Copies of this chain bind each other. A is one copy, B any other.
Amino acid sequence: MENTKKTTIHDIAEKLNVTASTVSRALNGNPRISDTTRKAVLKTARELNYEPNQIASALRSGRTQLIGMLVPTINRAFFSSIIRGVEEVANSLDYRVIVSQSNEVFDNEENAVKAFLNARVDGIIASIGKNTQQFDHYEQVLERGLPLVLFDRTTPNLQTSQVVIDDYQGAYLATSHLIEQGCTRIAHFTTERKIDIYKERYRGYVNALEDHGIERDETLIFSGNLQLEDGRSHAQDLLNSGADFDAIFSASDYAAMGAMQVLKEKGLKIPEDVALVGFLNEPFTSFTDPPLTSVNQFPIEMGHTAANLFFNALNSEKKEIVPKKTVLQPELIVRASSLKKKS
Protein backbone atom coordinates (compact mmCIF):
# COMPACT_ATOMS: atom_id res chain seq x y z
CA MET A 1 0.00 0.00 0.00
CA GLU A 2 1.45 3.31 -1.01
CA ASN A 3 0.92 6.53 0.84
CA THR A 4 0.08 9.06 -1.87
CA LYS A 5 -0.74 11.98 0.45
CA LYS A 6 1.80 14.75 0.03
CA THR A 7 3.92 15.55 3.08
CA THR A 8 3.59 19.14 4.28
CA ILE A 9 5.63 21.11 6.79
CA HIS A 10 2.76 20.49 9.23
CA ASP A 11 3.41 16.74 9.15
CA ILE A 12 7.07 17.34 9.96
CA ALA A 13 6.12 19.81 12.69
CA GLU A 14 3.68 17.37 14.27
CA LYS A 15 6.18 14.55 14.30
CA LEU A 16 8.83 16.74 15.98
CA ASN A 17 6.38 18.61 18.19
CA VAL A 18 7.56 22.01 16.91
CA THR A 19 5.65 24.74 15.04
CA ALA A 20 5.23 24.80 11.26
CA SER A 21 7.09 28.12 11.25
CA THR A 22 10.09 26.48 12.84
CA VAL A 23 10.07 23.75 10.19
CA SER A 24 9.75 26.31 7.41
CA ARG A 25 12.58 28.41 8.84
CA ALA A 26 14.78 25.34 9.23
CA LEU A 27 14.15 24.25 5.63
CA ASN A 28 14.88 27.77 4.37
CA GLY A 29 18.14 27.96 6.30
CA ASN A 30 17.06 30.72 8.68
CA PRO A 31 19.99 31.38 11.11
CA ARG A 32 17.60 31.73 14.08
CA ILE A 33 17.12 27.96 14.04
CA SER A 34 19.65 25.90 16.00
CA ASP A 35 21.75 23.28 14.25
CA THR A 36 20.16 20.51 16.31
CA THR A 37 16.65 21.53 15.26
CA ARG A 38 17.67 21.98 11.64
CA LYS A 39 19.20 18.50 11.51
CA ALA A 40 16.12 16.96 13.12
CA VAL A 41 13.87 18.72 10.61
CA LEU A 42 15.94 17.64 7.61
CA LYS A 43 16.07 14.06 8.86
CA THR A 44 12.29 13.93 9.37
CA ALA A 45 11.70 15.62 6.02
CA ARG A 46 13.67 12.84 4.34
CA GLU A 47 11.89 10.11 6.30
CA LEU A 48 8.47 11.48 5.32
CA ASN A 49 9.53 11.99 1.68
CA TYR A 50 9.00 15.72 1.87
CA GLU A 51 9.16 17.03 -1.71
CA PRO A 52 12.55 18.59 -2.40
CA ASN A 53 12.58 22.31 -3.00
CA GLN A 54 11.32 22.99 -6.52
CA ILE A 55 13.42 26.09 -6.90
CA ALA A 56 16.62 24.21 -6.18
CA SER A 57 15.70 21.55 -8.71
CA ALA A 58 14.91 24.19 -11.33
CA LEU A 59 18.34 25.72 -10.82
CA ARG A 60 19.87 22.29 -11.26
CA SER A 61 18.08 21.55 -14.54
CA GLY A 62 18.60 25.09 -15.81
CA ARG A 63 14.88 25.42 -16.48
CA THR A 64 12.33 27.31 -14.42
CA GLN A 65 9.35 25.65 -16.12
CA LEU A 66 7.83 29.08 -16.57
CA ILE A 67 6.29 30.44 -19.77
CA GLY A 68 5.95 34.20 -20.01
CA MET A 69 2.76 35.09 -21.84
CA LEU A 70 2.22 38.60 -23.11
CA VAL A 71 -1.25 39.76 -24.16
CA PRO A 72 -2.52 43.19 -25.21
CA THR A 73 -5.23 43.06 -22.54
CA ILE A 74 -6.29 40.43 -20.03
CA ASN A 75 -9.75 41.95 -19.78
CA ARG A 76 -11.11 40.40 -22.97
CA ALA A 77 -12.63 36.96 -23.09
CA PHE A 78 -10.75 36.26 -26.33
CA PHE A 79 -7.34 36.73 -24.72
CA SER A 80 -8.21 35.16 -21.37
CA SER A 81 -9.47 32.08 -23.23
CA ILE A 82 -6.19 31.85 -25.15
CA ILE A 83 -4.35 32.03 -21.81
CA ARG A 84 -6.58 29.20 -20.58
CA GLY A 85 -5.73 27.12 -23.67
CA VAL A 86 -1.99 27.64 -23.21
CA GLU A 87 -2.32 26.71 -19.53
CA GLU A 88 -4.13 23.47 -20.28
CA VAL A 89 -1.18 22.23 -22.30
CA ALA A 90 1.49 23.82 -20.10
CA ASN A 91 0.11 22.55 -16.78
CA SER A 92 -0.14 19.02 -18.13
CA LEU A 93 3.63 19.24 -18.70
CA ASP A 94 4.29 20.76 -15.26
CA TYR A 95 4.85 24.20 -16.68
CA ARG A 96 3.32 27.35 -15.22
CA VAL A 97 2.13 30.32 -17.25
CA ILE A 98 2.79 33.83 -15.96
CA VAL A 99 0.96 36.58 -17.76
CA SER A 100 1.62 40.26 -18.37
CA GLN A 101 -0.51 42.72 -20.32
CA SER A 102 0.77 45.57 -22.47
CA ASN A 103 -2.47 47.57 -22.54
CA GLU A 104 -1.38 48.39 -26.11
CA VAL A 105 1.46 50.60 -24.82
CA PHE A 106 4.82 49.92 -26.46
CA ASP A 107 6.90 50.64 -23.34
CA ASN A 108 4.80 48.19 -21.34
CA GLU A 109 5.37 45.53 -23.97
CA GLU A 110 9.12 46.11 -23.94
CA ASN A 111 9.23 46.12 -20.12
CA ALA A 112 7.12 42.97 -19.89
CA VAL A 113 9.55 41.06 -22.11
CA LYS A 114 12.44 42.31 -19.96
CA ALA A 115 10.55 41.31 -16.83
CA PHE A 116 9.99 37.80 -18.20
CA LEU A 117 13.68 37.42 -19.03
CA ASN A 118 14.44 38.78 -15.58
CA ALA A 119 12.15 36.08 -14.15
CA ARG A 120 14.20 33.56 -16.18
CA VAL A 121 11.24 32.17 -18.13
CA ASP A 122 11.98 29.28 -20.47
CA GLY A 123 10.39 31.18 -23.35
CA ILE A 124 7.65 33.61 -24.36
CA ILE A 125 4.25 33.39 -26.07
CA ALA A 126 3.11 36.84 -27.18
CA SER A 127 0.54 38.86 -29.08
CA ILE A 128 1.86 42.16 -30.37
CA GLY A 129 0.42 45.54 -29.35
CA LYS A 130 -1.54 47.62 -31.86
CA ASN A 131 1.10 50.31 -32.07
CA THR A 132 4.25 48.23 -31.98
CA GLN A 133 6.58 48.97 -34.89
CA GLN A 134 9.93 47.91 -33.36
CA PHE A 135 10.77 44.36 -32.37
CA ASP A 136 14.18 44.53 -30.67
CA HIS A 137 12.74 43.22 -27.40
CA TYR A 138 11.51 40.10 -29.18
CA GLU A 139 14.78 39.70 -31.05
CA GLN A 140 16.58 39.56 -27.73
CA VAL A 141 14.44 36.56 -26.78
CA LEU A 142 15.46 34.78 -29.98
CA GLU A 143 19.10 35.79 -29.54
CA ARG A 144 19.15 33.99 -26.21
CA GLY A 145 17.95 30.85 -27.94
CA LEU A 146 14.62 30.93 -26.09
CA PRO A 147 11.41 29.86 -27.86
CA LEU A 148 9.15 32.72 -28.96
CA VAL A 149 5.67 32.01 -30.32
CA LEU A 150 3.42 34.77 -31.62
CA PHE A 151 -0.37 34.46 -31.70
CA ASP A 152 -3.25 36.37 -33.28
CA ARG A 153 -1.38 39.64 -33.74
CA THR A 154 1.90 38.76 -35.37
CA THR A 155 4.50 40.36 -37.60
CA PRO A 156 6.46 39.19 -40.64
CA ASN A 157 9.49 40.98 -39.12
CA LEU A 158 10.25 38.14 -36.70
CA GLN A 159 11.41 34.73 -37.84
CA THR A 160 9.52 32.64 -35.34
CA SER A 161 6.52 30.32 -35.06
CA GLN A 162 3.08 31.85 -35.03
CA VAL A 163 -0.58 30.93 -34.91
CA VAL A 164 -3.24 33.16 -36.40
CA ILE A 165 -6.90 32.93 -37.26
CA ASP A 166 -8.20 33.51 -40.78
CA ASP A 167 -9.89 36.88 -40.24
CA TYR A 168 -10.63 37.19 -43.95
CA GLN A 169 -12.59 33.94 -43.86
CA GLY A 170 -14.53 35.00 -40.73
CA ALA A 171 -15.67 38.20 -42.40
CA TYR A 172 -16.42 36.41 -45.65
CA LEU A 173 -18.64 33.90 -43.81
CA ALA A 174 -20.45 36.66 -41.90
CA THR A 175 -21.17 38.75 -44.98
CA SER A 176 -22.19 35.76 -47.11
CA HIS A 177 -24.60 34.67 -44.36
CA LEU A 178 -26.27 38.10 -44.38
CA ILE A 179 -26.62 37.93 -48.17
CA GLU A 180 -28.14 34.45 -47.90
CA GLN A 181 -30.66 35.88 -45.43
CA GLY A 182 -31.79 38.24 -48.19
CA CYS A 183 -29.81 41.34 -47.23
CA THR A 184 -28.29 43.41 -50.06
CA ARG A 185 -27.51 46.74 -48.39
CA ILE A 186 -24.97 45.67 -45.78
CA ALA A 187 -23.16 48.35 -43.78
CA HIS A 188 -19.71 47.64 -42.31
CA PHE A 189 -18.08 49.03 -39.15
CA THR A 190 -14.29 48.91 -39.28
CA THR A 191 -11.20 50.78 -38.05
CA GLU A 192 -8.28 52.61 -39.67
CA ARG A 193 -5.74 50.83 -37.47
CA LYS A 194 -2.61 49.55 -39.15
CA ILE A 195 -3.08 46.12 -37.68
CA ASP A 196 -3.71 43.39 -40.25
CA ILE A 197 -6.71 41.65 -38.68
CA TYR A 198 -9.11 44.53 -39.39
CA LYS A 199 -7.84 44.94 -42.94
CA GLU A 200 -8.48 41.24 -43.47
CA ARG A 201 -12.02 41.52 -42.10
CA TYR A 202 -12.66 44.45 -44.42
CA ARG A 203 -11.30 42.47 -47.36
CA GLY A 204 -13.54 39.50 -46.49
CA TYR A 205 -16.57 41.78 -46.42
CA VAL A 206 -15.74 43.35 -49.78
CA ASN A 207 -14.96 40.05 -51.50
CA ALA A 208 -18.15 38.39 -50.25
CA LEU A 209 -20.17 41.28 -51.68
CA GLU A 210 -18.33 41.04 -55.01
CA ASP A 211 -18.69 37.27 -55.22
CA HIS A 212 -22.45 37.70 -54.83
CA GLY A 213 -22.63 40.46 -57.44
CA ILE A 214 -23.30 43.24 -54.93
CA GLU A 215 -21.52 46.52 -55.48
CA ARG A 216 -19.66 47.99 -52.53
CA ASP A 217 -21.15 51.31 -51.37
CA GLU A 218 -18.66 53.57 -49.57
CA THR A 219 -21.48 55.45 -47.83
CA LEU A 220 -22.25 52.27 -45.89
CA ILE A 221 -18.70 51.89 -44.50
CA PHE A 222 -17.87 53.52 -41.15
CA SER A 223 -14.50 53.69 -39.47
CA GLY A 224 -13.81 54.33 -35.76
CA ASN A 225 -12.39 52.53 -32.74
CA LEU A 226 -14.94 49.71 -32.76
CA GLN A 227 -16.02 50.35 -29.18
CA LEU A 228 -19.66 50.45 -28.02
CA GLU A 229 -19.81 54.24 -28.43
CA ASP A 230 -18.43 54.00 -31.98
CA GLY A 231 -21.17 51.53 -32.87
CA ARG A 232 -23.79 53.86 -31.42
CA SER A 233 -22.55 56.86 -33.37
CA HIS A 234 -22.13 54.91 -36.63
CA ALA A 235 -25.73 53.64 -36.32
CA GLN A 236 -26.98 57.17 -35.64
CA ASP A 237 -25.04 58.48 -38.66
CA LEU A 238 -26.45 55.68 -40.80
CA LEU A 239 -30.01 56.53 -39.76
CA ASN A 240 -29.47 60.29 -40.12
CA SER A 241 -27.93 59.88 -43.58
CA GLY A 242 -31.17 58.43 -44.89
CA ALA A 243 -29.15 55.69 -46.58
CA ASP A 244 -30.96 52.51 -47.48
CA PHE A 245 -29.57 49.59 -45.41
CA ASP A 246 -30.91 46.25 -44.22
CA ALA A 247 -27.92 44.81 -42.32
CA ILE A 248 -24.79 45.73 -40.40
CA PHE A 249 -21.66 43.62 -40.22
CA SER A 250 -19.44 45.03 -37.48
CA ALA A 251 -15.78 44.00 -37.10
CA SER A 252 -16.36 43.97 -33.32
CA ASP A 253 -19.13 42.75 -31.02
CA TYR A 254 -18.97 45.90 -28.91
CA ALA A 255 -19.70 48.17 -31.87
CA ALA A 256 -22.49 45.78 -32.97
CA MET A 257 -23.94 46.08 -29.45
CA GLY A 258 -23.91 49.88 -29.70
CA ALA A 259 -25.77 49.64 -33.01
CA MET A 260 -28.29 47.23 -31.48
CA GLN A 261 -29.05 49.73 -28.71
CA VAL A 262 -29.61 52.62 -31.14
CA LEU A 263 -31.73 50.57 -33.57
CA LYS A 264 -33.96 49.37 -30.72
CA GLU A 265 -34.25 52.89 -29.31
CA LYS A 266 -35.52 54.02 -32.72
CA GLY A 267 -38.11 51.26 -32.75
CA LEU A 268 -36.45 49.21 -35.49
CA LYS A 269 -36.80 45.43 -35.35
CA ILE A 270 -33.75 43.14 -35.36
CA PRO A 271 -33.39 41.17 -37.63
CA GLU A 272 -36.60 42.03 -39.55
CA ASP A 273 -35.65 45.66 -40.30
CA VAL A 274 -31.90 45.38 -39.79
CA ALA A 275 -29.94 42.13 -39.45
CA LEU A 276 -26.85 42.36 -37.26
CA VAL A 277 -23.58 40.40 -37.10
CA GLY A 278 -20.62 41.08 -34.81
CA PHE A 279 -17.14 39.59 -34.53
CA LEU A 280 -15.27 37.69 -31.78
CA ASN A 281 -18.13 35.93 -30.03
CA GLU A 282 -17.76 37.85 -26.75
CA PRO A 283 -19.61 36.13 -23.88
CA PHE A 284 -22.23 38.88 -23.77
CA THR A 285 -23.36 38.10 -27.33
CA SER A 286 -25.64 35.34 -26.06
CA PHE A 287 -27.12 37.64 -23.38
CA THR A 288 -28.33 40.42 -25.64
CA ASP A 289 -31.93 40.65 -26.88
CA PRO A 290 -31.95 39.34 -29.56
CA PRO A 291 -28.77 37.27 -29.11
CA LEU A 292 -26.04 38.49 -31.46
CA THR A 293 -24.69 36.44 -34.38
CA SER A 294 -20.89 36.52 -34.28
CA VAL A 295 -17.66 34.91 -35.50
CA ASN A 296 -16.02 32.40 -33.18
CA GLN A 297 -12.24 32.61 -33.29
CA PHE A 298 -11.63 29.43 -31.24
CA PRO A 299 -9.40 31.06 -28.63
CA ILE A 300 -8.94 27.90 -26.52
CA GLU A 301 -7.72 26.02 -29.60
CA MET A 302 -5.45 28.92 -30.49
CA GLY A 303 -3.94 28.61 -27.00
CA HIS A 304 -3.42 24.87 -27.45
CA THR A 305 -1.71 25.45 -30.79
CA ALA A 306 0.51 28.23 -29.42
CA ALA A 307 1.57 25.99 -26.51
CA ASN A 308 2.31 23.07 -28.82
CA LEU A 309 4.44 25.29 -31.06
CA PHE A 310 6.21 26.51 -27.92
CA PHE A 311 7.05 23.03 -26.63
CA ASN A 312 8.11 21.90 -30.11
CA ALA A 313 10.59 24.76 -30.17
CA LEU A 314 11.69 24.17 -26.57
CA ASN A 315 12.36 20.51 -27.14
CA SER A 316 13.95 20.91 -30.54
CA GLU A 317 17.45 19.46 -30.64
CA LYS A 318 18.68 22.00 -33.15
CA LYS A 319 19.37 25.53 -32.06
CA GLU A 320 17.92 26.80 -35.33
CA ILE A 321 14.22 26.00 -35.33
CA VAL A 322 12.25 26.19 -38.56
CA PRO A 323 9.42 28.63 -37.77
CA LYS A 324 5.94 27.29 -38.38
CA LYS A 325 2.84 29.29 -39.16
CA THR A 326 -0.52 27.77 -38.26
CA VAL A 327 -3.73 29.32 -39.57
CA LEU A 328 -6.95 28.39 -37.77
CA GLN A 329 -10.34 28.59 -39.45
CA PRO A 330 -13.13 30.55 -37.71
CA GLU A 331 -16.80 29.62 -37.61
CA LEU A 332 -19.94 31.71 -37.77
CA ILE A 333 -22.26 31.34 -34.76
CA VAL A 334 -25.71 32.17 -36.08
CA ARG A 335 -28.08 33.65 -33.48
CA ALA A 336 -31.40 35.48 -33.69
CA SER A 337 -29.96 38.92 -34.60
CA SER A 338 -29.37 37.84 -38.21
CA LEU A 339 -31.78 34.95 -38.72
CA LYS A 340 -34.47 36.33 -41.02
CA LYS A 341 -35.24 33.06 -42.80
CA LYS A 342 -36.34 30.29 -40.47
CA SER A 343 -35.00 27.10 -42.00
Contact string against B for A residues 62-94, beta-carbon threshold 8 Å, 1 for contact and 0 otherwise: 001110100000110100110110010001000
- A288 near B: Cβ within 8 Å? yes
- A136 near B: Cβ within 8 Å? yes
- A140 near B: Cβ within 8 Å? yes
- A4 near B: Cβ within 8 Å? no
Residue of B nearest to A143 (CB): B24
Mark out the residues of chain A between 102 and 129 whose CB falls within 8 Å of any chain B CB in the assembled complex: 103, 108, 111-112, 114-121
**Among candidates B66, B111, B144, residue contacting A115 with C-beta atoms closer than 8 Å:** B66
**Among candidates B66, B84, B91, residue contacting A118 with C-beta atoms closer than 8 Å:** B66
**Among candidates B66, B84, B112, B134, residue contacting A75 with C-beta atoms closer than 8 Å:** B84
Question: Could you tell me the distance between the alpha carbons of A108 and B88 in the complex, rounded to whole angstroms?
Answer: 11
Cβ contacts under 8 Å, A30 to chain B: 143
Apart from the given pairs A55-B114, A120-B120, 6 other A-B contacts in the complex at a CB distance below 8 Å: A24-B139, A65-B115, A96-B112, A284-B284, A284-B287, A288-B289
A residues with a Cβ closer than 8 A to B are 8-10, 20-21, 24-25, 28, 30, 54-55, 58, 64-66, 68, 74-75, 77, 80-81, 83-84, 87, 91, 96-101, 103, 108, 111-112, 114-121, 134, 136, 139-140, 143-144, 257, 264, 283-284, 287-289
* 15 A-B interface contacts by CB (under 8 A): A10-B134, A20-B139, A24-B143, A25-B143, A30-B143, A55-B114, A64-B115, A74-B99, A75-B83, A75-B84, A87-B101, A96-B115, A98-B115, A98-B119, A257-B287
